[in-house]
Amino acid sequence: MEANQVSELVIGAAVEVHRTLGPGLLESVYANALSIELGLRGCKFEQEVPLNGSYKGSPLGVVYRVDLLVEDCVMVELKAVDGLMDQHAAQLLTYLRLSGKQLGLLINFNQPTLLRGLRRVANQF
């Protein structure tokens, strides 16, 4: 599956989770529910994927754990905060660059409608 198709599938699954649970829960609850929904939709995904980094050729070890990696091409960063900040998108872009992935989704479930809490982040390589 191509990254844009995977992105659409993840967004649809997240909308269903938000429609069912609503805002106001912990991020971990949404992560578990989204994992279940992705599984029901036949998606391959990994949770809490370790992301290794390096500095000038020297390894830094695990610098972050990706909330979800879907179909090995779309990173998903989940939030349950009052509002997304530019810093959240900047962090996701850094994770994309470190991993060599092209597309990421920043999803904030703590919004009245999920689409208000959704950002696509692209790594332009």
What tens digit of pLDDT does each residue of 104-120 get? 999 999 999 999 999 99
Mean per-residue pLDDT of the chain = 95
CATH number of the 3-122 domain:
3.40.1350
Q: What local confidence, expressed as pLDDT, does residue 1 receive?
A: 84
Q: What local confidence, expressed as pLDDT, does residue 17 receive?
A: 98
Contact of 13 with 42, CB cutoff 8 Å: no
Average the pLDDT over 11-38 and give the result. Answer: 97
Cα–Cα distance between 125 and 106 in angstroms, integer? 19
Q: What local confidence, expressed as pLDDT, does residue 61 receive?
A: 94
Q: What percent of the chain has pLDDT over 90?
A: 95
Pairing of strands 103-108, 74-79: parallel
* Total residues belonging to the chain: 125
pLDDT at 101 over 70: yes
